[in-house]
């Protein structure tokens, strides 16, 4: 289990060195490949490369009627009434309350690990050179923290949502779905 400090450190130090050429598809599943490089914490001159996949489910439209099903865990009992009041106020103002919901599946079974005996700088350059040569449009190269590497993958996934949201919303609007 990671401490809040471990999570914060992983979020602050994770870098996407090469992002995929594509974004999350609006009307289908999207699969991204990743190579995550990380320096081993307890051994100098050793770098772990993890290779795997992240699958993004197609974005779903969450309509205002579904707000009744939104769970407000950890809030005081009056939070539901305040939330409902806010939704009604925004509806009365004519605000579009539909928003997109994203989901990811992390397939841990497909993660391959390899230890390289070299410096982080050298491994980073070799991995980036390889992606330039192969040109795989679905591959991301991420540099993260070895013991909290899952946090690095989650940060990458969240960044892909942020980069895809505007395109996905445009596609839904163009088809008259929101």
Determine the 3-state secondary structure of 8 from DSSP.
Answer: helix
Give yes or no for a contact between 110 and 62, defined as CB atoms under 8 angstroms apart: no
Model confidence over 162-175: pLDDT tens digits?
Answer: 888 888 888 888 88
Give yes or no for a contact between 164 and 24, defined as CB atoms under 8 angstroms apart: yes
The model carries a pTM of: 0.72
Pick the closest to residue 47 from 174, 177, 149 (CA basis).
149
Q: Which residue ranges make up each domain of the chain?
A: 4-63+99-174, 68-97
Q: Residue by residue, what is the 3-state secondary structure of 52-99?
A: EEEEECCCEEECHHHHHHCCCCCCCCCHHHHHHHHHHHHHHCCCCCCE
Model confidence over 121-157: pLDDT tens digits?
Answer: 999 999 999 999 998 888 999 999 999 998 898 888 8
Give yes or no for a contact between 58 and 120, defined as CB atoms under 8 angstroms apart: no
* pLDDT over 80 at 104, yes or no: no
């Amino acid at each position: 289990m990671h401490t809040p400090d471990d999570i914060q450190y992983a979020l602050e130090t994770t870098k996407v060195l090469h992002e995929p050429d594509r974004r999350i598809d609006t009307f289908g599943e999207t699969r991204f490949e990743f190579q995550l490089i990380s320096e081993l914490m307890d051994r100098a001159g050793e770098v772990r490369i993890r290779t795997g996949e992240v699958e993004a489910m197609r974005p779903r439209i969450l309509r205002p009627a579904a707000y009744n099903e939104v769970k407000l865990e950890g809030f005081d009992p009056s939070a539901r009434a305040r939330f409902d009041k806010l939704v009604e106020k925004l509806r009365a103002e004519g605000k579009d309350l539909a928003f997109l919901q994203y989901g990811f599946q992390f397939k841990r079974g497909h993660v391959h690990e390899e230890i390289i005996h070299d410096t982080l700088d050298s491994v980073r350059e070799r991995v980036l050179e390889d992606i330039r040569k192969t040109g795989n449009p679905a591959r991301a190269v991420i540099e993260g923290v070895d013991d909290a590497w899952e946090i690095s993958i989650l940060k990458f996934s969240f960044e892909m949502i942020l980069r895809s949201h505007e395109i996905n919303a445009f596609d839904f609007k163009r088809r008259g779905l929101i």
